[in-house]
Amino acid sequence: MTHDHSYSGMTADTSDVGQIVNLSRRSLLGGAGALVLAVALPNVAQAAGFGADGMPHGWQDSPKIFVAIAEDGAVTITCHRSDMGQGVRTSWAIIIADELEADWAKVHVRQAEADELKYGNQDTDGSRSTRQFFMHMRHAGAAARMMLIQAAAKQWGVPASEITALNSVVTHTKSGKTLSYGALAKAASDLPIPARETVALKDQKDFRYIGKGKIGIIDNVPITTGKAIYAADTRFEGMFYAVIARSPVFGGTVKSFDAAEALKVPGVVKVIQIAAPSAPVMFQPLGGIAVIAKSTWAAMKGREKLAITWDDGPNAKYDSAVYRAELEASARKPGKVVRAQGDVDGVFAKAKNKITAEYYIPHLVQAPMEPMAAVARIVDGNCEIWTSVQAPQAARTNTAKALGVGEDKVRVNVTLLGGGFGRKSKPDYVVEAALCSKVMDGKPVKLQWTREDDIHHGFYHTVSVERIEATVDDKGMPTAWLHRSVAPTIGSIFVAGAENELPFELGMGLVNTPFAIPNMRMENPAAPAHVRIGWFRSVSNIPHAFAIQSFVAELAHAAGRDPKDYLLDVIGPARQIDPTSIGDVWNHGEDPKLYPIDTGRLRKVIETAADGIGWGRKMPKGSGLGVAGHYSFVTYTAVAVEVAVDDKGAITIPRVDIAIDCGPQVNPERIRSQMEGAVVMGMGLALTAEITFKDGKAQQNNFDGYEITRIDAAPKAIHVHLIPNPDYAHVLGGVGEPGVPPVAPAIINAIFAATGRRIRQLPIRNQLSA
Amino acid sequence: MMKMTMPIAASLFALFAAAPAWASCDDELATLDTKVQAQATKAVATSGGGEGVAAKRNSEAMASRDSAAPVTSGQAGPAGGAKETQATTQAAQAGGSGDRVMQAKASINEARVAKGKGDEAGCMAAVTKAKGQLND
């Protein structure tokens, strides 16, 4: 597999909306394909839709899936979503190839460039790439198969109904004659596209790739042999390298600088100032002083020699310890009511037994193993970029704006991503690269972030205080529940001064808490932001799940109940809840009728994870089991953890069981790997990861201070339980993010079982030894 | 017959939709329930499913407050263009991306609690608050 950056020059044809469009007559992908198909969808501008339909550029901006079949039989599938390890390039190929009846050995994947008019929305976020395009991709593959069969029928003069397709070969069942897809591709491309309603999808019993779990990721060999191309691997003859000194405080600016010593560093060729962003910051570069050199090393050494005087700006006194106290104070006062049912105040007023707890979750940084990088060059006024980015179109739009050119003058090529976790949805680094190339008269420049840059200048995961109060009845069951969530919002990067969580943040496990409690109120007091807040894998589900699942366990303990049984009782019996009926006005953008909250499925994953780990077994002294479940990205996950705590407070995690019900499964092996990765990432934020600020500056520098889970601390065993959901007519759920939220509370609950100590502040670090 | 039926139906609808001054709090709540549910569903549909687009649309739609027009900064975000502006306008019209819908639902609950206690005035006060939150 190679990255094909060839540009076909095709444009979206809006007159073909709602049909599968034959683009073969207009152009061929890289000149290799004889049959090229695109799925075009109706225009959302006419009516708001759910899911992918509601994304930018309306229906015709929904993804268009291209299939190219060359005369040698090679099947090239264009993937317009970014692959950061989640395997979307493989999953999409699996879907199309299955419906196409393609020989997997002949399948190739081409990565799309940024072009939403052509491909539809390209943001790889929200755990939705596969769930929102499953049916469209099936249609594209099936339509191609039908056209190939029709071409053979025409050539042989037989009814299409007498022809079957398998492994890139069509067979006339009566005569036994065969033709390869490659031999038929040209003739098939001359045929009309079957109308969408006539496209015959395979019966799911005939699936050969979908859901079988027998296909490794399509990029396995290049990744494991070092041949895969990431942003930092991009090289050009005569390329320059750049790093940037940015204000150590968000909102700070350059008062003055002296580049004389930097320019003396061998290899340094230019030092320039990049302007500070205007409000709101969105995805603009932070500004600062860029050092451009003949090597990354020279650029870094030159940066060290810069003499810069900073104006630290309005966040100069930001101190995360002080801020925590402010959040706690806010959490103890009424805030904006975002969900209310029943009479919480009335019950509280009469209550005999009230339990209250506060939980703290610090800032985090995504810290993808590949720091941000982008290569840009400008030739004849056209800027071309190679980068690892989750939002190619935003990279294109922001670059065009920064350069003052039209988007048609900017091409963004997407490489593989060495992790993203939401950070690479914000393409400030791409714009920086383009600005550096511009001052170098368009010569190629690689803009490289270091790990320290990443940790010091992030779009940080929000910091949060979650306060929950509940009254309980004589049996210890909650009768009223008040949850206040206080956290600076991602909205602050889009609207300056925004201080309340957005509906989509509140819909991540706060307002849609599916508990059978008659009286519930959720509040969101204001919280000003002092750093850039951005989304981090699973976003606000992290603090909400941590607090709620910890608190339920605390209530269970107070009631003298088994925490798993108690959690199931709080969730209540299996039922389906319309999310809008409980105040969730996001629902991950999905149709509430198709995607109700199903407490039966939530119960099932909790029971499965608990059964997996052997819930109820007698544990040795210092060991314990904990469990937590959560609904996010229209998927149900639960985690059961076994921990051991020694007499010095050191924690080890011998075993984790994670159960997921994401609906029908396309690529089970990728789901397993995503769950395993989520466990390891969730462990990191539970045990060690934290960004703190003093005088506005992040106090951590690299992985010595910002600790993520290391291999020797990883669980000895992670058991992933995939809940079977074999009906592919059912809607799919997300996979990339839902594994993370229940990990931390399950660990905390297990520690309580092991030690009797309740942790309410993340990360745990040395709290058990203190 | 058709010519007669349609105006009558329209008038009846207008009567209920307008919630006249003599309407009881129960009547008001019934009308509000329908409206808030429709707004909630519209908010879901116009939010965008991805985190980037949802964040930008939510932010700009919420900031619109008392105006149906979204607040736009002129900065390039995760999505742009005329169609995205249109989508954000639709989100703004859906109670500020549902922000005010959530608050209105809470106010409706407050009204029901008051009603349950026989407090008609309290019920109507909460209804008025809900209407204000929905710009009704």
Query: What is the per-residue pLDDT across A352-395, written as a single tens digit (0 to 9) for each?
Result: 899 999 999 999 999 999 999 999 999 999 999 999 999 999 99
User: Which of B34, B35, B57, B58 would best serve as a mutation to test chain A binding (most A beta carbons within 10 A)?
Assistant: B58
Tell me the average pLDDT of chain A: 92
* pTM score: 0.93
Residues 6 or more apart from A665 whose CB is under 8 A from it?
A211, A213, A671, A722, A725
Min distance A83 CA to chain B CA atoms (Å)? 16
User: Is residue A61 scored above 90 in pLDDT?
Assistant: no
pLDDT at res. A37: 56
Strand stretches in A10-117, DSSP E: 20-22, 33-39, 66-70, 75-79, 107-111
Bigger pLDDT: A17 vs A471: A471
User: Is residue A38 scored above 60 in pLDDT?
Assistant: no
- For residues A105 and A218, give the distance between their C-alpha atoms in angstroms, rounded to a whole number: 10
**Is the distance from CB of A287 to CB of A246 less than 8 angstroms?**
yes
Nearest to B55 among A48, A281, A502 (CB): A502
Nearest to A535 among B47, B51, B95 (CB): B51
User: Hey, are the CB atoms on B73 and A494 less than 8 Å from each other?
Assistant: yes
User: Hey, are the CB atoms on A282 and B73 less than 8 Å from each other?
Assistant: yes
pLDDT at res. A53: 83
Nearest to A394 among B37, B77, B103 (CB): B77
Listed residue (A49, A23, A10, A40) closest to A591, CA to CA: A49
In chain A, the residue whose alpha carbon lies closest to the alpha carbon of B53 is A55
- For residues A27 and A8, give the distance between their C-alpha atoms in angstroms, rounded to a whole number: 7
Query: B55 contacts in A (CB within 8 Å)?
Result: 490-491, 493-494, 502, 504, 535
User: Hey, are the CB atoms on B76 and A591 less than 8 Å from each other?
Assistant: no
Interchain contact B42–A (C-beta under 8 A): yes
The fold of A320-364+459-755 is Aldehyde Oxidoreductase; domain 4 (3.30.365)
Over pLDDT 70: what percentage of chain A? 92
Q: Which residues 8-27 of B have a C-beta within 8 angstroms of A?
A: none
User: Is residue A39 scored above 60 in pLDDT?
Assistant: no
Give the end-to-end CA distance of chain B in Å, rounded to a whole number. Answer: 34
Class of residue B7 by CB neighbours under 10 A (exposed 0-12, middle 13-18, buried 19+): exposed
Over pLDDT 90: what percentage of chain A? 86
Interchain contact B65–A (C-beta under 8 A): no
**Is the distance from CB of B61 to CB of B94 less than 8 angstroms?**
yes
- For residues B40 and B110, give the distance between their C-alpha atoms in angstroms, rounded to a whole number: 18
User: Which of A459, A485, A504 would best serve as a mutation to test chain B binding (most B beta carbons within 10 A)?
Assistant: A504
Mean pLDDT, rounded, for A318-336:
98
User: Which of A282, A489, A494, A508 would best serve as a mutation to test chain B binding (most B beta carbons within 10 A)?
Assistant: A494
In chain A, where does the domain assigned CATH 3.30.365.10 lie? 14-224, 231-313+372-448, 320-364+459-755
Query: B60 contacts in A (CB within 8 Å)?
Result: 494-495
User: Is residue A28 scored above 60 in pLDDT?
Assistant: no
Q: Which range is least confidently modeled, A274-283, A467-476, B69-78?
A: B69-78
Interchain contact B129–A (C-beta under 8 A): no
Overall size of chain B counted in residues: 136
- For residues A467 and A575, give the distance between their C-alpha atoms in angstroms, rounded to a whole number: 27
Interchain contact B85–A (C-beta under 8 A): no
Q: Which residues 233-272 of A have a C-beta within 8 angstroms of B?
A: none
pLDDT tens string A105-163: 999 999 999 998 888 889 999 999 999 888 888 888 998 999 999 999 999 999 999 99
Mean pLDDT, rounded, for A291-311:
98
Min distance B44 CA to chain A CA atoms (Å)? 5
- For residues B14 and B7, give the distance between their C-alpha atoms in angstroms, rounded to a whole number: 10
Helices (H), A332-373: 344-350
Q: Which residues 500-539 of A have a C-beta within 8 angstroms of B?
A: 500, 502-504, 506, 511, 521, 535, 539
Query: B48 contacts in A (CB within 8 Å)?
Result: 54-56, 589
User: Hey, are the CB atoms on B102 and A338 less than 8 Å from each other?
Assistant: yes
Query: B34 contacts in A (CB within 8 Å)?
Result: none
Nearest to B106 among A61, A337, A588 (CB): A337
Min distance B22 CA to chain A CA atoms (Å)? 27
pLDDT tens string A76-121: 999 999 999 999 999 999 999 999 999 999 999 999 999 988 888 8
User: Hey, are the CB atoms on B80 and A498 less than 8 Å from each other?
Assistant: no
pLDDT at res. A118: 82
- For residues A368 and A570, give the distance between their C-alpha atoms in angstroms, rounded to a whole number: 37
The domain over range A231-313+372-448 is classified in CATH as 3.30.365.10: yes
Interchain contact A216–B (C-beta under 8 A): no
The DSSP 8-state label assigned to residue A16 in this structure reads G
Mean pLDDT, rounded, for A530-547:
98
Tell me the average pLDDT of chain B: 82
- Identify residue A418 by its one-letter amino acid code: G
Bigger pLDDT: A44 vs A391: A391
User: Is residue A48 scored above 80 in pLDDT?
Assistant: no
Q: What ipTM was predicted for this assembly? A: 0.90
User: Hey, are the CB atoms on B90 and A48 less than 8 Å from each other?
Assistant: yes
Residues 6 or more apart from A68 whose CB is under 8 A from it?
A28, A29, A30, A32, A33, A34, A35, A36, A75, A76, A77, A78, A110
| φ, ψ dihedrals at A212, nearest 5° | -90, -25
pLDDT tens string B24-82: 999 999 999 999 999 999 999 999 889 999 999 999 999 986 566 777 777 777 877 88
pLDDT tens string A194-253: 888 898 999 999 999 999 998 999 999 999 999 999 999 999 999 999 999 999 999 999
Given this structure, which CATH class describes domain A14-224? alpha beta
- For residues A153 and A123, give the distance between their C-alpha atoms in angstroms, rounded to a whole number: 40
pLDDT at res. A18: 31
